[in-house]
Amino acid sequence: AVDPASAQSGISVPKVKGRIITVGAVVIFEPREPMPIGQQTLEISGVKDLVGNAISDRHQISFQVTIIPPAEEELTEEEASLTVVPSSGGIFWEAEKFVRKKGDSIGSYKVPFKARGNPDQGVKDYVIKNSSAGRFIGVDNGRAVNGSWLKYRFTVPRAGKWYFWGRVIAPSVANNSFFWGVDIEDHEAKNEDDNNCNIWDFFEKEELRQHYTTDWVWFRLNSRSGNPFPGQEMEQHGANPTPLELKTGQHTFHLIDRENGTFIDAIYATMNKRLDVNKLGPTGPLAVEMEPQLSVLWGQLKSSKSR
């Protein structure tokens, strides 16, 4: 356990007013006002345990302050510009973290979620037990598609060729597609295969249909007609996929309903043409380099002092 008095004076975040709460061995820094977005530092100095032994003379822990909005709530433009950049240099966002929506066919669901099957396609009801952040989006069977869309805003840190992936559940040929468009206006986001929007297929081609599953699978972004995006499904499954060529700065991505029974968990983009996200394991691009957890670090500090 930690001595409360030494914790009050020895734990702080520079330029952030707050108080220290101790519950047994747990120490909580509670800011009195919302902390600024960005990099912050927690400082530990001269903290003692209950018998007066110094746990740490001085230590600093860096952490990042971001905003996690409630599901199905519009973000401000500043919030929406935030992207997670994994250590591999990619761009990542949760599908449920959209900045704007139209219509009600696309839902935001929390795991575990009982998804309705499609008896005509031999798909029974099933449970989606996990997702990257506990939620995902999609159109459950039984909900009518009506041109609803979700809009995302993301930041490209480096201009060039970007290969986009989506983490998807597509259980049958009748439940395996969305429309999408990049850098289009809201009024151009339609459930139509036109000069602005593409059909994103998930195992649509006959030779791919044996792979239908109710598990999450990463799919490269593709276009059924090859217009306006030229990368068609079989090409995107091959060794020479087509990228999106994007400039540095902010861009938008619209996801538009097409078929029900299809779900999307997350979107990921990389400049690595050869990367197959499915081979990275279930966490895939979520494996960002995190700062040490305070509880682990605390134990290490105390252990080193006792040697």
- Per-domain boundaries in the chain: 4-65+290-306, 77-275
Rounded to whole angstroms, the Cα distance separating 85 from 219 reads 19
User: Which uninterrupted H or E stretch holds 100?
Assistant: strand 100-102
Q: What is the pLDDT of residue 184?
A: 98
Sign of the Cα torsion 142, 144, 148, 154 reads positive
CA 4 to chain centroid, in Å, comes to 38
Tens place of pLDDT for every residue, the chain, 307 residues?
667 777 777 777 787 887 777 665 566 777 777 677 778 887 877 777 777 777 666 777 777 766 444 333 455 554 454 555 554 568 999 999 999 999 999 999 999 999 999 999 999 999 999 998 899 999 999 999 999 999 999 999 999 999 999 999 999 999 999 999 999 999 999 999 999 999 999 999 999 999 999 999 999 999 999 999 999 999 999 999 999 999 999 999 999 999 999 999 999 999 999 988 888 765 555 543 233 333 343 444 444 444 4
Per-residue b or e along 239-258, where b marks 16 or more CB atoms closer than 10 Å to that residue's CB:
eebbbbebeeeebbbbbbbb
Q: What is the pLDDT of residue 56?
A: 60
Per-residue b or e along 214-232, where b marks 16 or more CB atoms closer than 10 Å to that residue's CB:
bebbbbbbbbbeeeebebb
Q: Which of 13, 11, 19, 7 is nearest to 36 (CA)?
A: 13
3-state per-residue secondary structure call for 66-94: CCCCCCCCCCCHHHHCCCECCCCCCEEEE
Q: What is the pLDDT of residue 53?
A: 76
Which phi-psi region, left, alpha or beta, contains residue 226 (left: φ > 0; alpha: ψ -120 to 50)? left
Rounded to whole angstroms, the Cα distance separating 187 from 193 reads 14
Task: Using DSSP, state whether 212 is helix, strand or coil.
Answer: coil
Domain 77-275 fold: Jelly Rolls (2.60.120)
Report yes or no: 162 and 271 within 8 Å, Cβ to Cβ.
yes
Q: Which of 300, 299, 303, 225 is nearest to 25 (CA)?
A: 299
CA 257 to chain centroid, in Å, comes to 19
Sign of the Cα torsion 98, 102, 106, 111 reads positive
Q: Which residue has the tokens 């043409």?
A: 273
